[in-house]
């Protein structure tokens, strides 16, 4: 068994809007399953606390942070057509980012081997100047900067397997050679970014790696992308910490997307990431919840991820199985991405 930590704060349930897909039930349902399963007893609970505002300002503009605080204090409203704010949203966003920072501290200080932040609102669409796509603060980007500035980490690898492209994370680090951003996502789809030739600029050119999948890609295509694209990119970059933006909306039952991943497929991706973490950075892996809008799929996906992270020996909790339709092949796409970045095939080391 590994020492796996988690962070969860029930206050984050208070950021919610009835009828919106990103509502409190996402955490409520997942937390209930984790409690019923009993896995939490085997994990290390990390306390939640608000992120210091100065840490948020390492990623977001002061003007945006102030505007978000004022909007929440006035009773709420919308940052954009998709992204709501209520009276508790600003505090919930600080707690989401802060919980992830505390978890990152625990892993980098050796109190835990790895961890999962069960947080919301999510973060990977939030831009430096404004939130969008259900996201208020760029949680994972904030954690990457924190690790660099408070723990002396030189190179951070961010992996994002949410079905939507993490445009906010990409924007923050697009010219930064110290952060490698790797994303698999449905394309073209919201938010419209993440083409294969979006590779960074200036000194950061080559440290953004996008795999823009067409619809109906499933377990095999995703795993091939991790083996053929992520593995050589990671080995060349040599990260000292891996952060995973864990969105589970590429599942075949998710109502907001059109992909064919299964929960078992997600577990294999987490195993692949753990293998790279073991090989390259002493197992230091910190995961943060992003999307996932089928409540039961989300709950079982998080449980399965925690089983993998903790080396529980239990199989994935997958009551839904694979989709009925065949998945789309992506060999030509992966060939193209490999060629763009100059990668050669490099198998993922199993954990």
Catalytic residues: 125
Cα–Cα distance, 210 to 181 (Å, whole number): 8
DSSP, res 48: -
| Region class of 226: left (phi > 0), else alpha (psi between -120 and 50), else beta | alpha
Rounded distance, CA 107 to CA 104, Å? Answer: 5
- Given CA atoms 276, 248, 105, 309 in this order, what sign does their dihedral have? negative
305, 191 contact by CB (below 8 A): no
- Paired residues of 244 in beta bridges: 159, 287
- Alpha-helical (H) ranges within 44-190 are 53-56, 62-73, 89-108, 139-151, 167-173
CA angle 259, 347, 332 (to 5 degrees): 50
Place of tokens 């505007």: 67
CA nearest neighbour of 274 among 320, 316, 311: 311
For residue 114, give Cα distances in angstroms to 27, 39, 217, 218.
Answer: 20, 15, 28, 26
Distance CA 131, CA 124 (A): 9
Kindly report the number of other CB atoms within 10 A of residue 76's CB atom. 16
């Amino acid at each position: 068994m590994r020492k796996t930590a988690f962070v969860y704060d029930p206050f984050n349930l208070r950021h919610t809007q009835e009828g919106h897909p990103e509502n409190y039930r996402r955490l409520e349902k997942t937390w209930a399953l984790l409690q019923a399963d009993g896995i939490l007893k085997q994990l290390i609970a990390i306390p939640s606390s608000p992120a210091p505002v100065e840490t948020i300002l390492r990623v977001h503009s002061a003007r945006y942070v102030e505007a978000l605080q004022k909007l929440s204090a006035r009773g709420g409203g919308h940052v954009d057509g998709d992204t709501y704010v209520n009276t508790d949203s600003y505090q919930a966003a600080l707690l989401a980012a802060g919980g992830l920072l505390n978890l990152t501290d625990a892993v980098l200080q050796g109190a835990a081997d790895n961890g999962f932040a069960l947080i919301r609102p999510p973060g990977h669409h939030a831009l430096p100047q404004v939130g969008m796509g259900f996201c208020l603060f760029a949680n994972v980007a904030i954690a990457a900067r924190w690790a660099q500035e408070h723990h002396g980490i030189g190179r951070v690898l961010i992996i994002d397997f949410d079905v939507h492209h993490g445009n906010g994370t990409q924007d923050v680090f697009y010219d930064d050679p110290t952060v490698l951003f790797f994303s698999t996502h449905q394309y073209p789809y919201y938010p419209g970014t993440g083409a294969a030739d979006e590779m960074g600029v200036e000194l950061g050119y080559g440290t953004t790696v996008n795999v823009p999948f067409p619809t109906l890609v499933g377990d095999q295509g995703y795993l091939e992308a991790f083996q053929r694209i992520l593995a050589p990119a990671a080995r060349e970059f040599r990260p000292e910490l891996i952060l995973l933006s864990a969105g589970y909306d590429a599942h075949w039952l998710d109502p907001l997307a059109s992909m064919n991943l299964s929960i078992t497929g997600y577990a294999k991706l987490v195993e692949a990431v753990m293998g790279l973490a073991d090989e390259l950075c002493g197992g230091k892996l910190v995961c943060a919840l992003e999307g996932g809008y089928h409540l039961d799929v989300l709950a079982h996906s998080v449980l399965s991820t925690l089983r993998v992270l903790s080396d529980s020996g239990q199989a994935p909790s997958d009551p839904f199985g694979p989709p009925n339709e065949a998945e789309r092949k992506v060999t030509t796409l992966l060939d193209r991405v490999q060629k763009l970045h100059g990668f050669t095939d490099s198998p993922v080391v199993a954990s």
